[in-house]
Amino acid sequence: MISDLKKKLPNSYARGLKKIFLYLRGIYYAGNSCDCNICNRKFRKMLPGGFNLPIIGEKEIIGAGTRNHICPNCQSTDRDRFVKLFFDSRPDLLDDKIKILHIAPEPGLYRFLSSFENADYIPAAKYHEGIYYPAEMTLVDLTDMHYSDSEFDIIIANHVLEHIPNDKLALSEMHRTLRKGGIAILQIPYSNNTDSTFENTDLRTVKEREDNYGQFDHVRLYGKDYPKLLESVGFMVKLIRQGDFDPAKVERLKLFPKEILFTAEKTK
C-alpha cells in the first residue's frame, strides 16, 4: 500500500511527507546510546538495515548483512559516518574552493557534502530505465565520463564498483578526472577472509550472483587484493582504519566492525 501511495503522490509531496516522517522518527528514537556525526544528534539506537545471505557470513563480507546502523533522523549508514569521521580528521580536504563528484549519493553523505558553500558539488548516477532522478542529479556513466582531465578535487563512489563489469575502466576514468593531489573514496563490499577477488562472467542469474557475490546485481566479490586494483590505474592507496580514531567515538558512531576506508590519491 505504501508503494501504491508513492506512485500516486506527486514527488514533492512524497519528499515532504518523508521529511516529516524522518523528523518525527528522530525524535522518537532520541536517547544517549549512540551518535550520528552527520545530523549531530544522539539516539537510543540505530535502526536495522541490510539483508542476510549465507555467503555474507561465510566470506565475512565487510559492508553487508543485517545490522542496526541507520540513523533514525538523517538515514546515514555506518559507512557514511565512517566517511564523515575521515573528513573530520582531514579538514584540509574541504577548506578550499573545491569540486566534488559524488556517484550514487547516499542520503547521509549528500546532506553533509551538499552543505558546503565553497564546494561545487555534483551528485551523479548512471541512468537506469524506470528510475526517477531528482533535478539536481547529473547522469554519468563512470566508464565514459563527459568531464575533462583533472576536473575534480574529490570523487566519492561507494558501493558502486561491484556493479560495473569493467571496474578498471571506471577507475581509470576517475583517475583521469581527478586533479593531481585529488582524492577518491571508493568503498566496496569485500571478503575479509579471501585473498583474491572472485569474478565469473558466466554467473548471471539472481541466484548465482546472490550465492557467489552476496547481492543479485553485483558482478564480483572483492577480496583483500582490492587495493592492488586501485594501484593498477595509478592511485596511491591509503588504508584508514577505525583504530586510527578515538575508540569511544568509534563505538558511539556504530561503525561496521573492521571496515577499512579505502582512499585513493592521484599523485602525478
Shortest reach from residue 76's CB to Zn ion, in Å: 5
Q: Within 86-145, which residues bind Zn ion (CB under 5 A)? A: none
Residue closer to Zn ion (CB basis): 112 or 152: 112
Shortest reach from residue 107's CB to Zn ion, in Å: 10
Euclidean distance between CA atoms 234 and 71, whole angstroms? 36
Residue closer to Zn ion (CB basis): 19 or 238: 19
Count of residues near Zn ion by CB under 5 A: 7
Residue from the set 34, 36, 155, 264 that interacts with Zn ion by CB under 5 A? 36
Shortest reach from residue 191's CB to Zn ion, in Å: 29
179: left (phi over 0), alpha (psi -120 to 50) or beta: beta
Residue from the set 71, 145, 171, 260 that interacts with Zn ion by CB under 5 A? 71
Residue closer to Zn ion (CB basis): 78 or 153: 78
Q: Are 212 and 206 in contact (CB under 8 A)?
A: no
Euclidean distance between CA atoms 33 and 42, whole angstroms? 7
Helix (H, G, I), strand (E, B) or coil at 259: coil
Choose among 250, 163, 158, 161: nearest CA to 209.
Answer: 163
Residue closer to Zn ion (CB basis): 76 or 191: 76
The grid coordinates of residue 222 equal 572483492
Shortest reach from residue 158's CB to Zn ion, in Å: 17
Distances (CA, A) of 130 to 127, 135, 141, 196: 9, 15, 17, 35
Beta-carbon neighbour count of residue 126 at 10 Å?
Answer: 15
Shortest reach from residue 146's CB to Zn ion, in Å: 33
Residue from the set 76, 77, 191, 197 that interacts with Zn ion by CB under 5 A? 76
Residue from the set 29, 34, 35, 39 that interacts with Zn ion by CB under 5 A? 39
Helix (H, G, I), strand (E, B) or coil at 90: coil
Q: Within 169-228, which residues bind Zn ion (CB under 5 A)? A: none
Please, which residues bridge with residue 239 across strands? 262
The phi, psi pair for 209, rounded to 5°, reads: -75, -40
* Region binding Zn ion by CB under 5 A among candidate stretches 70-78, 84-92, 153-161, 186-194: 70-78
Interface ranges with Zn ion (CB under 5 A): 36, 38-39, 71, 73-74, 76
